[in-house]
Amino acid sequence: MSVTTEHYRLLVIEDEVDIRRAVSAALRDHHPAIIEASTGAAGVGAVDSSRPDLIILDLGLPDIDGIDVCKRIRATTAAPIIVLTARHGESDTVALLNAGADDYITKPFSTQELAARVSAQLRRSRAPRSRYGVILADGLSIDLHRRQASRDDVVIRLTPIEWELLSVLVSDPGRVFTHQQIFAAVWKRSFGDARLYLRVHVTNLRRKIELNPADPRLVITEPGVGYRFILTP
């Protein structure tokens, strides 16, 4: 089977030359068009000049804080950003996702795993995101136009908050939304304990839409970070 991803342009922003070369080498087979940048400023410039389809961004750069670089890139492109991080901890991960990163991978990582993440993000970014279609997942039907969810042709009664919560998550299946991102999108404000609000409503939503709320397959918890919606067949 032929690989149809060859036309994608990838940008690798990493100051450590060995890691930058290893990353490029690992991806070059499937993605020959790879641009490299060794500083945050050069990376932001390359995003503007080369319009890459995906960006791999190292968090530890010599000139600009990686999270700031991430924000600057996100301000100018919707292309997926995968962050390479040596840091640990929930708050960093949350800060990264809030800054617009799509995924992160902690050093040291295998080049196979990186290549798999890159493929997944390219697939995700290419998938149509219909605002008015019908999404089918695990027997659940979500009609975005009519703003209703049903299972076996029986409409599920969702509160407005539960509907908003569900529609935020299904707007980008597979993406991890942070507590703060979901909270801001659903409640249209940024104050309040996002996790607490969400925990209550996610529990209620799962009770209504999941086949087994105790073992959810649709709305998945990312511990300490947020939630994502999975499109199961």
Using CB under 5 A as the criterion, which residues of the chain lie in contact with Ca ion when the complex forms? 15-16, 58, 60
Q: How far is the CB of 18 from Ca ion (least distance, A)?
A: 10
Nearer to Ca ion, 60 or 173 (CB): 60
For residue 61, which of 87, 93, 100 has the smallest C-alpha distance? 87
138 dihedral zone (left: phi>0; alpha: psi -120 to 50; beta): left
Nearer to Ca ion, 15 or 68 (CB): 15
Q: How far is the CB of 73 from Ca ion (least distance, A)?
A: 16
Rounding to the nearest 10 degrees, give the CA dihedral for residues 185, 175, 159, 150: 150
The type of residue at 129 is R
Q: How far is the CB of 61 from Ca ion (least distance, A)?
A: 6
Q: How far is the CB of 105 from Ca ion (least distance, A)?
A: 13
Nearer to Ca ion, 12 or 169 (CB): 12
Q: Where are any strands of DSSP class E within 25-72?
A: 33-37, 54-58
Q: How far is the CB of 15 from Ca ion (least distance, A)?
A: 5
Contact indicator for 65, 109 with CB cutoff of 8 Å: no
Q: Which residue is nearest to Ca ion (CB)?
A: 60
Nearer to Ca ion, 64 or 144 (CB): 64
226 in helix, strand or coil? strand
- Measure the CA–CA gap between 40 and 63, rounded to whole angstroms: 6
Dihedral of alpha carbons 170, 175, 179, 183, sign: negative
Nearer to Ca ion, 16 or 92 (CB): 16
